[in-house]
Structure formats: C-alpha cells, structure tokens
Amino acid sequence: MKRLYLLTFCSMALTTCIFFLKERNPTTIAAGKGLVLPKEWLVANNITITPKKDRRPADQTLLTYPEWFLVFSPQEQATYYTQHTSTTFPFNSHTAQIWQSYKIVDDQIKGNFPKNTGYHFMIWVIGTSASVEYSIKAWYETIIGRITDTNTPVTAEDQFNARFTQDYVDFIKDRPWYEFDFKSRLKTLWTSTPFMGSHFLRKVERRYILTSELLVKHIYSKLIGLGTKQIYEEALPTTAVILDNDSLHYLPRYDKFAVAATDLAKQGHSFKEIAGNNTAILLTILVPTRCYTTFENAQTVFTQPIAADYTMKRIALAVPVPSLNKLLLQLDKEKITIEHVFDF
C-alpha cells in the first residue's frame, strides 16, 4: 500500500512539473516593440465641448482592454463548453493573454498621458484574481478533471456549466461581474440538475468543482462589491459623443456602443469627440486566422489567436476618433465582426 501511495504521489508530482513547464503556443503578438501608435494620435484634447460630467481620461480606451478581456474569455469558454468539457479548455493561454495585452497597451500610453493609478490598480486586482482562478482550474482539470473527462458535455453538470457561463457573459456585458447572482445558480445546480445518471463519477466530480466555484465566487463578489462602492463612483451607463455638426448625443455604453456608433456612421456622421476625447480609440475585431485585410487610417496594436479556436484571431486596432466612422463602415461592408469598441 505504501508503494501505491508513493507511486501516486510521484505520478502527480511529475504531471504537475510537465503541466507548468510544457512549451505553449504564442498567445499575444504585438504589432511592434514598444509604442506602435503615432504620437500625434495620443495628444490629449484640451479644447472640448463635451459636458464635464461625461468626460473620461483618454488612456482608458486602451486600459480597458484587460478588463474587457475578462468578458471575452468567459465568452470563449461558454462557446467552447457547448461542444467540449471545461477539462480541455486552455486556461493558461488566457492567463498569458491578460498580462501580455496589458503590457502592450501600457507601452502605448506610458509617458503620453498622466498616470492613471486607480485604473492600473483595478487591472492588477482583477488580473491577479483571474490568474489565480485560471491557474487553479488549469491544474485541477489537468490533474483531476482528466480522470473523469467525457470529452463532450454529456452529463447534466457539464451542460449546466455551459448555460451558467453563457448567462454570466450575457450579464457582464452591461453590468459589473460582482452583481451576478451566483447564489441562485448554486441553488439551480442542486435542485434542478439530476443527481443520478450515466457517467456518475464525472457527475459527482463536476458537482464538487462547480459547487466550490460558485460558493467562492458568491462570497468574493459580495466582498468586491462592498469595496468597489466605497472606492469608486457608479459608472455612467452612457457615452457622450459630439458629432461632426457639433450636436451632443448619448449612446449606450459598453457592449451596445459599437452598434449605436455604426448606425450613426451609416447615417453619414463622423465623430469629433467621444467621452471628451479626439485621440486614438481602440476596438477589437474577430476574423479568420488567414485573414490579412488592411484597414484605412487604423493601426494594429496586437493580434491574439483565439486559444479555444485557432481558426480565428482577435485583432486590436486603434484609430483616431475623427476616422472611426470610416473604419466602422469598412468593417460593416466587409462583414467583419466587431467584438468591442472601447469607448473610454
């Protein structure tokens, strides 16, 4: 029996070493070393007609990328979980993409804008939290989850995971993640998901890990929510834009901004200011891996292979606010998916 314990321990230790030391595919490819944007695109707008309450720092269009990656990542997971189990999801690649993209966007704003200490701190908090979560999941799925893995989501628990993850994504596209009701999903797991069924070992193991995740996130979200209300003001749900005719419009913020901005571009409008800025604005698009389209008046900042689907890639583009309408029209004409416009 002692030999069995020793063999089990050595096997797990060896597997853990292989897990952490194995070579990984590139996850984020910068368009160049250091600053790749023209410096004239990063000159702050000192004469603005946007109301003061609606102005936001110009560097936040770039700094919000790591924050929004934590929306893109769960969306990749939700899509992946409809056909595969979470056991084979590339969590480590996503951890790398958080920090590599953060370094690249920081290189663009460093020395060009005042230090946005509060936002950098927030990125470090959420980035570290996500990294810890993904590292634990990657280790667990590689060492433990693989034992029970069914490759496809055949158990009610794996199917629940896909639905829960998509519900979470739909929620955080417009609301802070810590407002999501993890407690009700935990109740659903135990009251509406059948306990008995085929692949019983997988069911028990999945129920354990899902219960652990939901409990931890429920407690952590309450703590983060309380802390956030003490430190930050509630974010405005709209973004103020000044059009070419100097008229002020309020567009929905976050996920719905891209559609609203594209509609205005189709009506023949261009933008003079967005949230008080006429500097570069960041947006991401999703295209096939072999797509090499060029974009007028836009600069690629970096490219990320979609880690869960290497037939697709994400391209982060920056464009001056006055040229945004032309880029939106080109993307619409070429049927290219706009993932997000980072509206400061």
Distance CA 258, CA 319 (A): 14
Distance CA 195, CA 323 (A): 56
Q: 302 with 322: CB under 8 angstroms?
A: no
271 contact partners, CB below 8 Å, separation of at least 6:
241, 242, 243, 244, 261, 264, 321, 322, 324, 325
Distance CA 65, CA 82 (A): 26
The tokens describing 97, both together, are 């993409």
Element spanning 153, H or E: none
Distance CA 114, CA 20 (A): 38
Residue 196: is it exposed, middle or buried by C-beta count within 10 angstroms (0-12/13-18/19+)? Answer: exposed
Q: What is the DSSP letter of 315?
A: E
CA atoms within 13 A on the CB side of 120: 12
Name which of 55, 5, 34 is nearest 279 in CA terms. Answer: 55
Distance CA 93, CA 95 (A): 5
Q: What percent of the chain has pLDDT over 70?
A: 92
Q: 65 with 334: CB under 8 angstroms?
A: no
Give pLDDT tens digits for 266-293.
999 999 999 999 999 999 999 999 988 8
Q: Enumerate residue ranges in the chain where pLDDT < 70.
A: 1-25, 232
The pLDDT of residue 293 is 86
Residue 114: is it exposed, middle or buried by C-beta count within 10 angstroms (0-12/13-18/19+)? Answer: exposed
Length of the chain (residues): 344
The pLDDT of residue 21 is 44
